[in-house]
Amino acid sequence: MTVSDCEICGQTAHGNHFGVLSCRACAAFFRRATLNPKKKLNLNCIHGQNLEIHRNGFFSCKKCRMKKCLERGMDASKFQLDRDMISTAMVPVKVPLMIPQSLATFLGRPNFLIYCNAQDPTSPGPAKNVVDCNHLLDRATEILKNGSWKPFSPQMNSLEQMSAAFENMKISKSSELQLITHMNKDHTLLIWEQEMLNTAEWLTNFSEFNSLPITVQMEVVKSIWQTYGRFEKLAKTAEFRRKKLFKSDNLFVVGDEACLDSENTVVDVSWFTNYSYEQVSYFMDCFHNEAFRQIAKEFETLNPTTTELNFMLLQVCLQEAGKKLQGDVTKMTDYLQDLISNQLHNYYIIVRNMPNYSARLTKMMKVCNLMRHDLRRQAEKSKLAMTFDVFNITFSHPEIMGNCG
């Protein structure tokens, strides 16, 4: 364990929680177990001596996890009510290519994307700021190579496993959202990092996908991470609205632990364009367009189960990957789409006892088609922005930013 590891599970720490250097998952567990009297966890030990308590951050026993929290010194009285969920610390331009992990922990966010005020030597024309994506892609590749420890029943199919993992990923994030009132460079870079790494982690639970060469897996991740992030955030926005946690239709989830009010947020565009926000907002992936709002409302009405949501995510993402990468990848994504369609059928017949699910499927496909239309619209705007050189920013790997604005 290094100084930047969670003292409870050994995974990467995200800061000091309840007096102990820990990850968000362990902090969230301790918070639920001690601070919410309505949701007291069942802390009966489920295994005997000599069994593995945790592996790759996953605990099989809540009592053993709580014991570890208390042994390390976690104290509910040290709960920080005013903790910033997303750091706004600026990373200096003149830094080593790899910032020491201890500093990244101090800043409260990983450092996988590096922003430099420099001329890209491979790019002709006016000087452009550069975002170096190498470390982010290396980290995503590492996640795919290591895979995930799957504490699932061997009888579970891929759609069921991905749905269970999706829920685990959601639980590991804080249920509290920090309202961003001033969207700046560091917010944007952190959100991109989260979306890329979340996509890679999610796909490690797709057994048939994991059998592909790592290089192919990574190409798929690079082609769909924005799609996954956009879809997942819209679904989460709808969930918060259904639960009456968002009091306004102008509130949208924008990151793992962040939201913004589309009508009352100042967006700093100075780090990627010489134009004003009013001049470039048309080209940006913002939340003020009616198509985006319509999708959020359709999600809210549909209220998909986790299995249905993961099926929809896979359908849109796999089709997007096949369209972008072509060739053998298209054949592979077509096969995977057929596979999960059969698994969704079994879900309705066996789990839901719903033999007549065609009406439900039609509503799901309506949302998927709206998402596809929105992705095409944003891709067209991105191409237009590139044609007229609207943004003075470039990326070390331009192919991963296809729909980014």
Length of the chain: 405
pLDDT (average), residues 139-167: 85
The tens digit of pLDDT for each residue in 93-139 reads: 333 333 333 334 334 444 577 777 655 455 555 667 888 899 999 99
CA dihedral 12, 180, 261, 26 (to 10 degrees): 30
pLDDT of residue 102: 35
pLDDT (average), residues 177-192: 91
Decide: helix, strand or coil at residue 276: coil
Q: Domains of the chain by range and CATH?
A: 15-78 (3.30.50.10), 129-400 (1.10.565.10)
Which helix or strand (DSSP H or E) is residue 197 part of? helix 185-203
Q: What percentage of the chain has pLDDT greater than the value 70?
A: 77
pLDDT of residue 288: 60
pLDDT (average), residues 323-338: 93
Q: Which residues contact 193 (CB under 8 A, 6 or more apart)?
A: 109, 110, 112, 113, 136
Q: How far apart are CA 161 and CA 150, in angstroms?
A: 8
Contact assessment for residue 239 and residue 206, using Cβ atoms and an 8 Å cutoff: no
Which of 107, 162, 150 is closest to 305 using CA atoms?
A: 162
The rounded mean pLDDT for the chain is 80
pLDDT (average), residues 198-203: 95
Q: Say which residue, 341 or 292, is predicted with more confidence.
A: 341
Flag whether pLDDT at 78 surpasses 60: no
Q: Facing residues of 134 across strands?
A: none
Q: What percentage of the chain has pLDDT greater than the value 90?
A: 42
pLDDT of residue 127: 67
Flag whether pLDDT at 376 surpasses 80: yes
Buried b or exposed e, range 68-84, using 16+ CB within 10 angstroms: bbeebebeeeeeeeeee
Flag whether pLDDT at 169 surpasses 70: yes
| 287 band by pLDDT with thresholds 50, 70 and 90 | low
Q: Say which residue, 381 or 220, is predicted with more confidence.
A: 220
| 307 band by pLDDT with thresholds 50, 70 and 90 | very high
CA dihedral 254, 259, 263, 264 (to 10 degrees): -130
Q: Which residues contact 98 (CB under 8 A, 6 or more apart)?
A: 111, 135
Stretch among 88-92, 154-158, 216-220 having the lowest mean pLDDT:
88-92
pLDDT of residue 1: 46
Hey, CA dihedral for 373, 374, 379, 382, is it positive or negative? positive
pLDDT (average), residues 62-80: 76
Determine whether 229 is exposed, middle or buried from the number of CB atoms within 10 Å of its CB (0-12, 13-18, 19+).
buried
Flag whether pLDDT at 49 surpasses 90: no
| 268 band by pLDDT with thresholds 50, 70 and 90 | very high
Flag whether pLDDT at 61 surpasses 50: yes
State the residue for tokens 């979340």.
Answer: 198
Contact assessment for residue 212 and residue 225, using Cβ atoms and an 8 Å cutoff: no
Stretch among 182-186, 249-253, 282-286 having the lowest mean pLDDT:
282-286
Stretch among 62-66, 234-238, 318-322, 338-342 having the lowest mean pLDDT:
62-66
pLDDT of residue 386: 83
CA end-to-end span of the chain, whole Å? 39
For residue 338, count other CB atoms closer than 10 A to its CB.
10
